[in-house]
Amino acid sequence: MTERRLLATLAVLALVVSSVAAVGVGVAVDSEDGHVRVNQQDDGGLLVEFDNETFPDRQGVTVNVTANNETTTLDTSAAETDDPDWWAREVAADALPDGSLADARVTVAYNGTVEFDRTMDLRHLRVETGTARFDDAGRLAVNATSVGLGGGAV
């Protein structure tokens, strides 16, 4: 029974990898327009960073994602950033729209003015013991920490 679950899990993973390889897309990392940066985190969520000098008001932010011809305004929360000259807002992965995010359009407005407008590959896969991402070549990269064949979950 456990071996069947392992084989089923590997078959699903192989199907995901083969469908991604056929698409051949990039990955959403370190996208910057002027004084706004949008980066996808390991958990699939987005970190939107703003230059303090250019954007001093930390409340006037709107983040939209358009996927599958539908635009969704996303809730954001304050987040920490490593650079003291920048401040950040975060979008949780489960707030992203359902469906294909391979060619999602990310728009960030500050006090009503669009400051970031790019198409990004926001696909992600979360696994129970960690995360998986799409690399620069569009391949699915999974960091496996353990696979159990006896009595435990696979």
Domain CATH for 66: 2.60.40.10
Assigned token pair, 135: 């690399």
Contact 90, 127 (CB under 8 A): no
109-151 per-position pLDDT tens digit = 999 999 999 999 888 766 666 667 777 777 777 776 654 444 4
Question: How many whole angstroms separate alpha carbon 36 and alpha carbon 86?
Answer: 9
In a domain, 91, yes or no: yes
In a domain, 152, yes or no: no
Per-residue pLDDT at 14: 45
In a domain, 153, yes or no: no
Question: How many whole angstroms separate alpha carbon 89 and alpha carbon 92?
Answer: 10
Q: Is the pLDDT of residue 32 over 80?
A: no
In a domain, 48, yes or no: yes
Domain range enclosing 53:
2-142
In a domain, 151, yes or no: no
In a domain, 110, yes or no: yes
46-98 per-position pLDDT tens digit = 999 999 999 988 888 999 999 988 999 998 999 988 889 999 999 998 888 88
Per-residue pLDDT at 105: 93
In a domain, 147, yes or no: no
Per-residue pLDDT at 123: 82
Per-residue pLDDT at 125: 66
Show the beta-strand stretches assigned E in the chain: 31-33, 36-40, 46-51, 61-67, 70-74, 77-79, 86-91, 104-110, 113-120, 125-127, 130-134, 140-142
- In degrees and rounded to multiples of 5, residue 63 shows phi and psi of -115, 125
Question: How many whole angstroms separate alpha carbon 35 and alpha carbon 49?
Answer: 8
The total of structural domains in the chain comes to 1
Per-residue pLDDT at 59: 85
